Amino acid sequence: MNGVEVKPSPIEGLGLFATRPFRAGERIRRVNIVREITEDAPLREDLGERIEHCSFPDGKVLLWGFPDRYVNHSCDPNAYEWHEGSDIYIVARRDIAPGEEITFDYNINLTGGTPIPCNCGAERCHGVIFGDFFALPKAIQREYRPLLAHWFVRRYRHLIEALDAEP
């Protein structure tokens, strides 16, 4: 694989790791999307397909493939998803060294998810993955604002614009 590998993670199960350095802002890879999950083509749990390996852009449900489905969550992530048309890229949020685990904050571009305990180990870990961007502390919502997908900003414009006004 080009610059990444999947192996056991101290955060949870398997994770995605860098095998070469990446610079802040560099595209690490384009996400391998298996397919869209719909009523006519539902998730096949009998075939090992898991909702944990899906993302939810703009009301859709997309099943992620290998190796991208192994990106774990961190409350201080070194990468983020960048949506461009129907493509999703994994982009470095800061410089990443070989051997570092590549992580996202799952709360970005998400609302109304189910909270789960977080084991990311970051100094600023909230102890929980809220499953909801707007449950994050306001300062962190502001920090992530440039990373938000266009569709998310469009859908929740009133809440995102309110970030400017609030202390």
Query: Which spans of this chain sit near ligand SAM (rule: CB under 6 A)?
Result: 11-15, 52-53, 69-70, 72-73, 118-120
Q: Could you say which of 75, 102, 110, 148 contacts Zn ion (CB under 5 A)?
A: 75
Count CB atoms within 10 A of the CB of residue 136: 18
Report the C-alpha gap between 51 and 8 in whole angstroms. 20
**CB burial of residue 151 (10 Å; 0-12, 13-18, 19+):** middle
Nearer Cβ to Zn ion, position 120 or 136? 120
Q: Which does 125 bind (CB under 5 to 8 A by kind): Zn ion, ligand SAM, none?
A: Zn ion
- Give the contacts of 118 (CB within 8 A, at least 6 positions apart): 73, 75, 125, 126, 127, 128, 129
Output the smallest distance, CB 41 to Zn ion, in A: 33
Output the smallest distance, CB 117 to Zn ion, in A: 9
**Which alpha helices (DSSP H) does the chain contain, by range?**
138-144, 150-155, 157-165
Token pair listed for 106: 């799952």
Report the C-alpha gap between 86 and 134 in whole angstroms. 25
Nearer Cβ to ligand SAM, position 72 or 141? 72
Q: Which does 13 bind (CB under 5 to 8 A by kind): ligand SAM, Zn ion, none?
A: ligand SAM
Stretch 110-139 residues interacting with Zn ion (CB under 5 A): 118, 120, 125
Output the smallest distance, CB 122 to ligand SAM, in A: 9
The residues that bridge with 97 in the sheet, in sequence order, are none
Nearer Cβ to ligand SAM, position 7 or 154? 7
Nearer Cβ to Zn ion, position 54 or 75? 75
Nearer Cβ to Zn ion, position 64 or 130? 130
